Chains A and B, each alone.
Chain A
Amino acid sequence: MTMIRADQVALGDRLRSRDGTELTVTRIDENFLGSGMLAFVEDSEAQWFKMPAAADHEVELLEVDSSAD
C-alpha cells in the first residue's frame, strides 16, 4: 500500500477512500467546510465523489497520473 501526504496529491492521481471507493482526482478544493482541509473530487462520466483530507495526513495512492511526467 502506497501512502502519500494529502498536500502532495495531484490532478489525475488515483486514490482509495477510507470506505474503499476509488477515485481519480479531477479537482482539488481548498478549505473544505471552512476547516482548512483539502477535498479531492472526481467529477467524471463514471462518478461524482468527494473525499476530504487534512493537508498533512496521508491518503492511499493507487496510481500516479503518468501524463503529468
Chain B
Amino acid sequence: MNFDLARIDGSPLPADELTGKTVLVVNVASRCGLTPQYEGLERLQQRYADEAFTVLGVPCNQFAGQEPGTPEEIQQFCSATYGTTFPLTEKLNVNGQHSHPLYQWLTQTPDADGAAGEVEWNFEKFLISPGGEIVARFRPTVAPEDETITNAIEAVIG
C-alpha cells in the first residue's frame, strides 16, 4: 500500500506505517445507522493488536452527507463515543471521478458475490495483506466481527 495519505489531523501517514501490516480499510461516517460498527472495529483492533494488524478508518461525506464534521469533530466523536484507537485518514472521496487513488485501487476488487466497482455505502471493508494484496472485500452490512471477516483476518495473519 503505497499511497499518499494524511492522518485526520493533516499530518502525513507514511506508507511504512502500514507496509508489512494486515490492514482493514473502512470508509466511516459519524451519522450513519451503521456508525455503531465502530465498536466492533475497535474490538478487532484490540483483538489482533499483537499481530501487526490495524484498522484504517477513512472518513467520507459522499453518502447522504453523513460525515459533515471537521477533522477535530470527527476525531473527537470517534474517541469519545467509541474509544477508538485505530488511525483515521483525512476525509476522502471513495467514489467518482475525484476518488482517491487508494480507492481507485481498492474498488477494482470484487466482493464475495463477484461484484467490483463503487463502494456501496458507509462501512465497506477491504482487507489488505502484509504483502500489499487485497485479500477480501466486505459490504457495509457485514459486521466487523462477522466470522467471514475474522476468518479472513486470521488466515492472513497466520
Residues of A within 8 A of B (CB): 17-21, 32-34, 43-45, 47-52
Q: Are A48 and B121 in contact (CB under 8 A)?
A: no
Q: Which residues of A contact B95 (CB under 8 A)?
A: 43, 48, 50
Q: Are B121 and A19 in contact (CB under 8 A)?
A: no
Q: Are B65 and A17 in contact (CB under 8 A)?
A: yes
Distance in Å: Cβ of B103 to nearest Cβ of chain A: 11
A interface majority secondary structure: loop
How large, as a class, is the contact surface on chain B?
10 to 19
Q: Are A33 and B121 in contact (CB under 8 A)?
A: yes
The one of A18, A34, A47 in contact with B64, judged by C-beta atoms closer than 8 angstroms, is A18
| B140 within 8 A of partner (CB) | yes
Beta-carbon contacts under 8 Å, B61-96 to A:
62-66, 68, 93, 95-96
Number of CB contacts from chain A to chain B under 8 A: 43
- Docked Cα-Cα span, A50 to B60, in Å, equals 12
Distance in Å: Cβ of B52 to nearest Cβ of chain A: 32
Residues of B within 8 A of A (CB): 62-66, 68, 93, 95-99, 120-121, 139-141
Q: Which residues of B contact A50 (CB under 8 A)?
A: 62-64, 95, 121
Which residue, A18, A19, A47, A48, has most C-beta atoms of chain B within 10 A? Answer: A48
Q: Which residues of B contact A49 (CB under 8 A)?
A: 62, 65
- Docked Cα-Cα span, A16 to B140, in Å, equals 24
